[in-house]
Structure 1
């Protein structure tokens, strides 16, 4: 049975990076949007010629309970020059509406996991689902002492999406390490956990281990493939490597 689309009303936006916006919506039909961190919604719209299309966006909402009506629905939107979705979002006034459906997807933390550590690896807007997982990770660190390493790849410090959120979380939780990997430019006074280069170049530093690790890969398909191969090389079986590839669509 098809899931009926629902209206989302824009209540706020800010720039996360020079070409990525953070959009906050509320569901405008009085219903909750209950989701599992790691899931995504689809936004429906039409091209100029009237052809219907849709785009998928992971939910960035920091989520620690059942969603109620009127709670924020947050996504990160990459701006693609000449893109139809970019035109939709850039032209959307506060109070304006989009049609959406979902949530969808299984790129989520699994209740049955008994691993000692999560390796979370992302580039670009692929880091979005990890933001929504922070309360779950906090609970898992408290309940069973799980450790977490987040490797986030970007070209420059200004392109580290939600970097302030992750650094603050790491500062407050000794079991969580936040490792930005910057390929083009380092900050003037880098944190000791900042690395220069690509995430796949620094994965070996954290000694992936099949006996203790479950890895999540989200973002650029080349990065996902390179890290997948590297993790297999370290002995991780495929069920312990969970992947989602992000391709920016116009």
Structure 2
């Protein structure tokens, strides 16, 4: 049986018009052992009393356990009419939710010997990559690995954690951050307007990096159509399935 624990809301900020960044602490005083890339499940009930749950990747920037009192962070997409949305919007500071986990294997592996990571994400599918930043920093320092993050959003205001990824790229020459906007580009001369910005879907720019089975491990997280499209491109480039790690995000009510 999974271990359940209470999470107390301690912070909330909007990342985009329909996405909130929520910060919790474990209210039982225990640490949360996790590997960046894993997720927790939040348990609640529908209005008729039926039990249900939703999964959320941990966005906490960490490389191991989240200690007592340290923030357990997730990004939540608000879906009109959604039961989970209503539950989260109804939370006040100090209120608790029931959670379990962590779960999942969408993680960097200590046995990886690749020369480059291709990280592709859309929407809240970018949250695991935020959590992985300390481990990526370590891999770049210890074995010279290169990292490319292709992040798809419709508009600049929907680019979750964009400022953080851009700052990380500026501080780490081996990390390249490419925002891909499918609808609206940043205003010329704005902070989001730089040489690595692309106009279109993330899958359209994979070929630019010549994916290779000899050098690359790819991570795909987010919209199922994007994950499937990128998976096909990578297979065509010769990457074996074990070198393509996938997690699909589906918004549900």
User: What TM-score results when the alignment is normalised by the length of structure 1?
Assistant: 0.99
Within-5 A mapping of 1:98-109: 98-109=97-108
- Tell me how many residue pairs correspond in the alignment: 249
Q: Distance in 1 between matches of 2:64 and 2:174?
A: 22
* Aligned match of 1:223: 226
* Aligned match of 1:243: 246
- Residues 92-144 of structure 1: CA deviation (Å, up to 9, x unaligned): 00101100000000000001000000000000100000000000000000000
* Aligned match of 2:93: 94
Q: Distance in 1 between matches of 2:27 and 2:156?
A: 35
**1:50 and 2:49 matched:** yes
User: What TM-score results when the alignment is normalised by the length of structure 2?
Assistant: 0.97
| CA deviation after TM superposition for structure 1 residue 68, in Å | 1.4
Q: 2:91 aligns to what SS in structure 1?
A: coil
Q: Distance in 2 between matches of 1:185 and 1:85?
A: 29
Q: Distance in 1 between matches of 2:65 and 2:97?
A: 23
Structure 1: segments with no counterpart, 5+ residues: none
| CA deviation after TM superposition for structure 1 residue 70, in Å | 1.1
* Aligned match of 1:79: 78
**1:11 and 2:10 matched:** yes
Within-5 A mapping of 1:103-122: 103-122=102-121
Q: Distance in 2 between matches of 1:106 and 1:96?
A: 30
Within-5 A mapping of 1:1-250: 2-189=1-188, 190-250=193-253
Q: Distance in 1 between matches of 2:186 and 2:3?
A: 46
Q: Distance in 2 between matches of 1:241 and 1:188?
A: 34
List 4+ stretches of structure 1 deviating above 4 A: none
8 Å Cα contact 2:66/2:72 also seen in 1: no
- Residues 174-224 of structure 1: CA deviation (Å, up to 9, x unaligned): 000000000001101311000000000111001101100000000000000
